[in-house]
A and B are shown apart, each in its own frame.
Chain A
Amino acid sequence: MTLTLLVKLFLGTLTTLQVSLIGVAIGTIGGICLGICTCQKTNWRIFKIYISVVRGTPLFVQLFLIYFALPQITGLAISPFVAGALSLGINSTAYVAEIIRGGINAIPEGQWDACVSLGYTATQTFSYIVLPQTFRNVLPSLVNEFIALIKESSVLMIIGVAELTKVSKDIVSRELRPFEIYLLTALIYFVITSSIAYIASKYEGE
């Protein structure tokens, strides 16, 4: 296997990491906001509809809607990378929101009472008391979601994002060595996802 191929795979890996990282960032920020808005204490139904729609439609279709349909309506062209990151983020937001919502609802009612009786405002209660405990409780589920997101980023090849799977496919179509290339690709995904799982388990232990 030539150095050029390895460099191409490395660049593909970098793109996968970049697009996933943006997706995770959007998913985390959006998911926290939506999780707060849909928990038992707030229960804003409009956001529950959003979550149902996103969870009830395939990422593939969401990707096409953003990459092909959105420019048709707005008239603004959107690059494959931006469309991909946005799709991953929007999709992840719904799943993270459900994880956060479950975590918030699991905080004992007495913790809320303690905050009210001490005099914390609602914002302080969420920021200092509820969310830190929620994150600790839902960390394994969040890590699962982010690992799934990294793997799902391979779907972005369909709109031409030069991420790891697309780069591998392009190499295979030229070199005709599917076994080595796809095995190496799988290994790279495995190293990325298991590194994240390992770091998270260390943090969880602490």
Chain B
Amino acid sequence: MIIAENIAYTPPKTDRPILQDIDLEIVPKAISVFLGESGSGKTTLLKCLVKLINTYTGLIRYAKQSRVGYVSQHYQLFPHMTTLYNCVHPQRKILKRSLKEAEQRAYEFFAKLDLIDLINRYPPELSGGQQQRVAIARTLCMDFQTLVLDEPTSALDPTSTQQVSDMLLNLKSCGYTILISTHDMPFAHSVMDYAYLMNQGKIIEHFPSGQIPAQSKLHQFLFR
């Protein structure tokens, strides 16, 4: 579980706040989706939650031993390593796993995410959807219980988007907590358990997916 209390963030050397008065409680083992126009603060909020931005004010609390993994919009696989090594290298260097152990773990997730055929390929040789899945596999190999995905379908075709949403639902059923920011409404509909609407750095509305009032801004945003 992640609880954020009164989060605010103003970038250095500016006086325009990007996040203001953010209070949220992320429900574990569910998919929470953050929606909003470009510049509403979704990515910045996610970066605060994964500690890529540390200069915010307020408090973010994490459940004991909860580790949060982040997959950015552009996947950011390491282009000089094969997909397998992208997953093995961080395990070896950070978790100090043996090569055999790290490879076993990588193979396990590659099989789960249907990536076995790609183990010896380099990231630039892969499609956007394949890179997305490898990036998620890399994060899963690191034993993160919570996954944060920034615009996971922004560069994907409908088939790849479907694959990613199936995979996320599958991961949720395995007990992962997932946070997503997206502009892709059909994708949001297909995966979300909780929806948060952001505007000008604030969360203006949030509802469980089955209980969104028809007159709410969130409903209008989702069905416009």
Give chain A's interface residues, CB within 8 Å of chain B. Answer: 108, 110-111, 113-114, 116-120, 124, 128-129, 132-133, 136
Contact = CB atoms under 8 A, between A and B. Distances in A.
B72 interface: yes
A113 B90 contact: no
Contacts, number: 48
The dominant DSSP class at the A interface is: helix
Nearest to A116: B52
Given A120-B94, A132-B80, A108 B52 contact: no
Contacts of B69: 117-118
A43 to B, nearest CB: 14
Nearest to B92: A128
B97 interface: no
B52 A113 contact: yes
Interface of B: 47, 50-52, 68-70, 72-74, 76-80, 89-90, 93-94, 138-139, 142
Contacts of B50: 117
Nearest to A129: B78
A132 B78 CA distance: 10
B89 to A, nearest CB: 7
A114 B87 CA distance: 12
Contacts of B74: 108, 110
A117 to B, nearest CB: 4
B91 to A, nearest CB: 9
Given A119-B142, A136-B80, A114 B93 contact: no
Contact of B90 (A108, A119, A133): A119
A118 B47 CA distance: 13
Given A117-B70, A119-B94, A110 B76 contact: yes
Nearest to A135: B80
Top-3 shortest CB links A-B: A117-B70, A114-B76, A110-B76
Contacts of A117: 50-52, 68-70
